[in-house]
Structure 1
Amino acid sequence: MAKRLVMGSGTGTGGTARRHSRRKRDLHRLVRELRHGTSASAYTGRRAARVTLAAVTAFYLGLYGLHEPTTATYGLFAAVAMAGLSRIPGTGRQRAVVLVRLLPIGWLLVTAGTLLAVRTWTAAAGILVVGFLLAYSAVAGPRPAGASAGLQLLYILPCFPPYAPQALGERLGGTTLGFLLLVLAERLVLPDPPGVSYRALSADAAAIAARCASELARPPWTLSTGTEAEARSAGEALRPSRVPDAERPAGPGARERALAHTGMAARVLLARLQEVPAPGPRGPRPRAVALLHEVAASALRTSAALRTGRPADTERLRDALTVYLRQRTVTMPGEAPETIDAVLRRQAVLIEAAHAGVTLTSAVNLSVGRQPGPAEKRDGGFWYAGQGSARLWGHRLGAHLSPRSVHFQNAVRISLALAAARAVAGLDSLPHGFWAMLAVLTLTRTTAAQTGATVARALVGTLLGALVAAVMLVLVGENTTAYAAALPVIMSAAFWIGPTRGVGWAQGLFTLVVSVVFAQLAPATWQLAEFRFLDVLVGSSIGLVLGLLAWPRGAQGELRRAIAVLFRAIGSTVTSTAAVLTHGTTVEEDDLVPLRRALTLAESSFAQYQREPQHPGAAAVDWHAALIAGHHALRGARRLCSGRVPAEVRTSPWRHGLDTDSAVLAGRYERTGGLLEGAPRPLPAPPGAGRREPPAPPAPPLYYDAEAWLNTLSVDLDRVVAPTTGPAAEGGR
């Protein structure tokens, strides 16, 4: 009996030790994942730790250290606004810099909210203006867009009674305290692992393009299977949907525009090199091989410039291209006409690739700060080069000041909803009415369907959270020590579990957070939880109504309209460019403004579209291919119309074929645009271009250049509406 007791005791002790060891290993694994993991949960956990540390420290310093409840409140909500509600992309260092720059704006918003709280109508008018401006600032890129919601809260909090301008100093002090503690937390606490920059992705793409050009310049004069796969992968890596917001160049400044131009040019160069047809039995002409070698050398120099930040030489490739254009062979004695035709078509594709290489190098040099040279100033594609920041900002803001811009639509929707919530809260005297505006801010989405689904889950979560909070307030009573001990735990859970488990969890846990906070500021009863649910119900209802009234389809409907407009602009550009080549008309840069504007609005609609949930039955449309087609049309039209058109093109029988081909392609774009704008079902791939066989070659070289451009646009259009699956289908996700 004693022996069994001893053996049982040993077994129990060993089992406890093993369980303890297992828990210790699990804890170490969790800590390691939190510190170095790259999953969404790890990122959210690190952010939750930073916002909790900053917010709770500011709250405790203000309430228990300085004995200033106002300072404590504003310190806590400033940190929550800028790290919990906002989504500023980037590393900790980058976010800290953004926060320092936003602090004066935070002071201005707190001051405006404090002074305009004197009347309900002034507070509502203020949020109408402030809400629109802050939401519209999303046109400047991901960082202003990410900070917008948090800055809105800095106005919302002080714009409610009591009207207390004498407390402005304490409010500003608390806001400053919250900002500064958050800056320290972003810089020092659990830094996120660095991601791959857009510049590095572009450098990799340029290096692979150099390898492609080198392989095309030596036997067997074609790309190997491995290199072709790497080229496709490098091009896909530069898709906007594959690039994190923090790394995507989307700002209005010249360098950011040039970096975005760099990525586009790298994708075009890779695509053109993959399209170079194999030469005939005699192999490529020596001049073609020399041009390919120069394309490879230029791509390598470009890759090095992206990695070192030092400009690359653009003149060597530009000079080589000029020589090639001047010396390209038209007649080759002893060769059959069809052989000459194949050679000239291959030359046209090589010229397209070389032009893409020149564009890539010029864009890279502008992105690293080099002043534009004469060639860049003549190139309308680099219109932003040398422009001042104020002018570029004005251009970006003005380009989206239209009801057809999703940025404008979002700004109108959220500002009207916030103003309505402030008016209702003031007229009905809602207790803690700012919670209603906070619900509008956090639950309103860009589509009515998404808003409805979000509101339903949020109300369930808020109701459950309110019930738990009511029980807690009854049981704990006025024991502020218990609330103070619970606040860091509950807040960490709210900002870690909430974003990973969904909006219902987020609203329920945040209800507990605000209940614990306000219970420390003043004695609270279970009715505090009731007020919280009532305010969320009012705010979410207002957001839902405005979502139904103001552009309820969000970017999904707008993107179809924007691409339809873009395709009509492409069709018009195709016909006008062909008219220049065949009839001697002219195309000025101002004539391309409709295409540029359509491209701008389509790009902004596509950026928002990627953030919205897609319907399973939506047409499988590669929207990014449509944007690439717009860029191809723009650059090709500029290039073909930039020089003097030889008389042989305007007088030869080939011009009729060019007129026919351009008209057919323009018609395809216009018809496809009409289908995209009103198609109720998945779109089939369009029929082939139907271009007729040309007369016997050779034709003037410019004809082949134009045909290569038209063929590129035809391939782009096929990719837009071809049934696609997998990650390449931007519209099928």
Structure 2
Amino acid sequence: MPRRGGLEWLRARDPGLRAVRRAARVALVACTGFYAARYGLGNHVAAIYALFGAIATGGMSFVPGTPRERARTLLAVLPVAAALVALGTMLGVHSWTAALGMFGVGFLVTYAGVGAPRLGGLAGGLQAFYILACFPPYAPATLGSRLAGLATGIVLMAAAEMWLLPDPPPGRYTDRLARAAALASRALRALAAEPRSPPSAGPEQLTAASQELRLSRVPDDERPTSASARDRALCQGAAYMVHLLGQTRQLTQDARDTPGTRDPAAARLLQASATACHDIALGLSGRGPAPSDAPYTSAAADFEARRVRLPTWSPNSAAVVRGGAIALDIAHTGTFLITAVRIALGAPVPADTTPPAQRPGPFWYAGRPTLSLYASRLRAHLTPRSVYFQNAVRIALALTAARLIVGELDLTHGLWALLATITVMGTSATGTRTALWPAFSGTLAGAAVVAVMLYSVADHVVVYAVVLPPLYLLAFSAGTVLGMGWGQAFSTIAAAAAFAQLGPAMPGLAAVRFTDVVIGGLTGALAGLLAWPQGGAGELRRACSRQLDQSTRAVTEIIGTITGAGTAGDALARTRRAQVAAEASYAQYATERGDPDPAHPADEDWMAILLAGNRVITMGQSLADHCSPGALAAWPPSAAHLRDAAHRLRLTALPLMYDLRSRKPRPTPAEPPAPNAPTDRTVIADVFAASGTRAPDPLLYYAVDAAIWLTGLQGVITAIRRTTDARTAAPG
């Protein structure tokens, strides 16, 4: 053990000792209920169900939230657990009825986790209740004892969540968003100050704040992945905040490069954005009311009127125009961010004004009840293309096959075969392979110890009663601290110690237990490897590839329309639909424990792709609303540069789309920008050249906004490709 000492070593493996505390709760509750029924009431049936009631809801389940929220969740699922036990008791009359029920329960319980992380976290435990009840002996007369034991275990577990070594409340994603908003507010306020100077929050701090919003940096119990309007709004608000921080970072860098360049109207707009971000931080942290877009009303109107009268003779005019366009982009993003935050806080928002032909709008879910949104997600994923659906079918098939095999072979302790199936099933082939070997090796090691224990202790029940609590403490903490194999080994020993108190135990039980685990593990492994093995990452790759495809098509179509080189179509509407699908896939991916596909773009790449799609929709719609078809055709150089930039964006995205679809990322040579590659500065120069000594035509400022938009998208897509190529080219 390292020199730092046992406690420091344990804290390094188990931050906050969360796993140890949870294991202590489960061990004490499970053993208390078991001992009370076994030795106090002499009821073996109630004893085993009290034991499993605590283990299934405390050890086999992951329920996010505060201790009080977890306790409420456990009490809320008690009727469901009782129904599953009753169903298993009735269908256990024949192997084939039990197997049919196993398929229905396996599918429904797993699929119910769509959009509900707490239900998803309880899936394994709920399935265990049916599994336990559907095995011999078939004894409907014992249903009362089974339900009494079950209720005892779950109620005690709910009480323990609140009062027995409770975990500290998990962090809140709203606090992360609030901290990012506060940082953006300080940076924007500094940029709006007179004289203008680089803000104290440098580009590195703004980048770090963006990274902290990515779900890969967020603990499982803090991630907003449910179907509720609040969680949807938090995820969408985070995307807007990432873009706002990125544009603020750009202005910060510009302030360092050209200090003193300042437009009073743009400064007032930045000040309004700073105020809005400050109000967002207060609202999300609970120290103020929900934010309002009031700060933008007069500042935006003032800026729009001011920038079309900007003199052209100043040496800094181009920098002022560019800074103003970025400030307007920040303000535009801020209004969307405020709407998302108001939805997350439960405040009223304006009705969706998106025309029917262009729906779904950006906030289509606002005002809809959670049950309606949950039902909508259930319907949306009832398709073989959905990873939720795929995973539910795979688990149902594996459990059904294991139940049929156990019944056909008449295995005495076949319960462990199905529990092993649940253990090794993952949402991807990688996840299944990762769980398979530790499950087998741990069980084999535990079975060897069990054989020695049963031979040495024989029928001295008091010994089993004494060692049961520490064994379960190790069973539910060793997996986190030492690895899954250790947890499986201690679980095998603890289960043998519990059942040895209910009847005669022979040394051969160890071999029986290991045989059951091998059968269940192999069944789960085959189902996991053969049926839809790509998991959440596979579907997310396809969804993001489609989203990139539709987004870049929409950009090309919008630019072609406003420059007179094309006609408006439905590309933006298709992008909205692709965005919704990609966001749903990302939510599924975020619910998976660990990274099931580390060879491909990691979480920051996925969120960057979603951010790009979001920017295409919001800014693309704004340009389509303000610029009539052919509005910029009167200025050929600007129109040509915008079309070239849109075409270059599409070409940059194509290799990334191919990599995502093919699952075979390949190194691509670096492509330095061509000397004449169009940028926002190029278009700004065109605007001044076309205007001569006059103030630019107001329409030309939309060319500047479009150029800022395209430059930002180009930077996002290029950064994703560089990250992907760097991972692919890395040794090993």
Give the TM-score, by structure 1 length: 0.88
Letter in 1 for 2:159: L
CA-CA distance at 1:213 after TM superposition: 0.5
Question: 1:306 matched to which residue of 2?
Answer: 284
* Other structure's SS at 1:387 match: coil
Q: Which amino acid aligns with 1:348?
A: A
Which position in structure 2 is the counterpart of 1:292?
A: 270
Contact 2:214/2:604 (<8 A) preserved = no
Q: Which residue number corresponds to residue 487 of structure 1?
A: 468
**Alpha carbons of structure 1 residues 189 and 421: separation in structure 2 relative to 1, 3 Å:** same
Q: What's the counterpart of residue 353 of structure 1?
A: 330
Name the CA shift for 1:321/1:376 in 2 (closer, same or farther; >3 Å): farther
Moved more, 210-219 or 323-332: 323-332
Aligned-partner Cα distance in 2 for 1:248–1:180: 27
Deviation at 1:102, TM superposition (A): 1.4
Answer whether contact 1:567 1:673 (CA < 8 A) is retained: yes
CA deviations on 1:503-525 (whole Å, 9 max, x unpaired) are 22122111111111111111121
Give distance in 1, aligned partners of 2:37 and 2:53. 13
Contact 2:185 2:277 (C-alpha < 8 Å) held by counterparts: yes
State the superposition RMSD in angstroms.
Answer: 3.2
Are 1:530 and 2:511 matched, yes or no?
Answer: yes
Q: State how 1:208-357 maps to structure 2 within 5 Å.
A: 208-219=183-194, 221-224=196-199, 226-276=201-251, 277-278=254-255, 283-308=261-286, 310-320=288-298, 322-324=300-302, 326-330=304-308, 332-335=310-313, 339-357=316-334
Aligned to 2:380: 399
Match of 2:158 among 175, 183, 205: 183
Alpha-carbon distance in structure 2 between the residues aligned to 1:138 and 1:395: 13
1:129 to 90, 96, 104: 104
CA drift at 1:80: 0.5
8 Å CA contact retained: 2:175, 2:285: yes
SS of residue paired to 2:362 = helix
Structure 1 contact 380–638 (Cα < 8 Å) conserved:
no
- For residues 194-245 of structure 1, give each alpha carbon's deviation from its aligned partner in whole angstroms, at most 9, with x where no partner exists: 3431111111111111111011112563534644332222221111011112
Does 2:496 match 1:508? Answer: no
Shift of 1:189: 1.1
Q: Which moved more, 1:485-494 or 1:323-332?
A: 323-332
**d(CA) in 2 for partners of 1:453, 1:281:** 54
Residue matched to 2:614? 631
Q: 1:616 to 1:643 in 2, by over 3 A?
A: closer
Separation (CA, whole Å) in 2 of partners of 1:609 and 1:684: 30
Partners of 2:340 and 2:600 in 1: CA distance = 39
Shift of residue 184 of structure 1? 1.1
Q: Distance in 1 between matches of 2:570 and 2:298?
A: 27
Pairing of 1:127-206 with structure 2 (within 5 A): 127-206=102-181
Displacement of 1:93: 1.9
Taking the aligned partners of 2:643 and 2:181, their CA distance within structure 1 comes to 36
> In the alignment, which residue of structure 1 is the partner of 2:427?
446
When structure 1 is superposed on structure 2, of 235-244 and 693-702 the one drifting more is: 693-702
- Equivalents in 2 of 1:477, 1:570: separation in Å? 69
Equivalent-residue separation in structure 1 for 2:161 and 2:410 (angstroms): 38
1:603 alignment partner, SS class: helix
Residue correspondence of structure 1 range 535-554 to structure 2 within 5 A: 535-554=516-535
Which amino acid in the other structure matches residue 704 of structure 2?
A: Y
Secondary structure class of the residue paired with 1:162: coil
Q: CA deviation at 1:655?
A: 2.9
Contact 1:37 1:43 survives alignment (8 Å): no
Instruction: Provide the secondary structure at the position in 2 that maps to 1:722.
Output: helix
Counterpart Cα distance in 2 of 1:108 and 1:217: 62
Tell me the SS of whatever aligns to 2:154: helix
How far the C-alpha of 1:551 sits from its partner, in A, is: 2.3
Match of 1:363 in 2: 340
Amino acid at match of 2:508: Q
Q: 1:243 to 1:67 in 2, by over 3 A?
A: same
Q: 2:92 aligns with which of 117, 123, 130?
A: 117
Does residue 45 of structure 2 align to residue 70 of structure 1?
A: yes
Partner-residue secondary structure (3-state), 1:520: coil
How far apart in 2 are the matches of 1:708 and 1:732? 37
Whichever residue aligns with residue 168 of structure 2, its letter is P
Q: Structure 1 residues 65, 456: CA separation in 2 closer, same or farther (over 3 Å shift)? A: same
1:573 and 2:554 correspond = yes
CA contact (8 A) 2:265 2:303 kept: no
Compared CA separation, residues 117 and 191, structure 1 to 2 (3 A): same
Deviation at 1:714, TM superposition (A): 0.8
Read off the aligned partner of 2:655 and give its amino acid letter. R
- What letter is aligned with 1:638? Q
Q: Distance in 1 between the 2:12 and 2:67 partners?
A: 15
Query: Does the 8 A contact of 2:210 with 2:242 survive in 1?
Result: yes
Partner of 2:392: 411
Separation in 2, partners of 1:482, 1:118 = 35
1:663 alignment partner in structure 2: 647
2:346 pairs with 1:372: no
Identity %: 36
Q: Cα distance, 1:382 vs. partner?
A: 1.3
**1:463: which partner in 2?**
444
Aligned twin of 1:12: none
**CA 243–602 in structure 1, closer or farther in 2 if over 3 Å, else same:** same
State which drifts further: 290-299 or 625-634.
625-634
Q: Which runs of 5+ in 1 are unaligned?
A: 1-24
- Cα shift at 1:82: 1.0
Partner of 1:680: 664
One-letter amino acid of the structure 2 residue matched with residue 385 of structure 1? A
Q: Secondary structure at the match of 1:441?
A: helix
Q: Deviations over 1:545-582 (max 9, x none)?
A: 11221123434444433322221121222123324433
Is 1:722 the counterpart of 2:722? The answer is yes
Q: 1:438, CA displacement in angstroms?
A: 0.3
Distance 1:223 1:375 in 2: 38
In the alignment, residue 233 of structure 1 is paired with which amino acid? A
Distance in 1 (CA, whole Å) between partners of 2:431 and 2:275 is 50
Pair 1:563-2:544 in alignment: yes
Alpha-carbon distance in structure 1 between the residues aligned to 2:442 and 2:310? 78
* 8 Å Cα contact 2:352-2:363 kept in structure 1: no
In 2, the alpha carbon distance for the partners of 1:206 and 1:425 equals 57
**CA shift in 2, pair 1:604/1:324, >3 Å:** same
Residue 340 of structure 1 and its aligned partner are, at CA, apart by 4.2
| 2:62 counterpart of 1:87 | yes
- The structural deviation recorded for 1:585 is 2.6
Superimposed CA distance per residue, residues 352-409 of structure 1 (whole angstroms, 9 cap, x where no aligned partner):
1111222222222221111222478889211111112232112222333333332222
CA distance in 2, matches of 1:123, 1:48: 31
> Equivalents in 2 of 1:452, 1:515: separation in Å?
26
The 1:702–1:563 alpha-carbon spacing in structure 2 relative to 1, beyond 3 Å, is same
Query: More deviation in 300-309 or 428-437?
Result: 300-309
CA distance in 1, matches of 2:423, 2:87: 22
More displaced 10-residue stretch of structure 1: 416-425 or 41-50: 41-50
Structure 1 partner of 2:701: 701
CA contact (8 A) 1:463 1:533 kept: yes
Cα separation, 1, equivalents of 2:592 and 2:42? 48
CA distance, structure 1, for counterparts of residue 707 and residue 571 of structure 2: 21
Maintained 8 Å contact 1:562/1:601: no
Summarize the alignment of residues 27-46 of structure 1 with structure 2, pairs less than 5 Å apart. 30=7, 39-40=14-15, 42-46=17-21
Return the letter of the residue paired with 2:441. V
What secondary structure does 1:381 align onto?
coil
Alignment of 1:611-626 (within 5 A): 611-614=594-597, 622-626=605-609
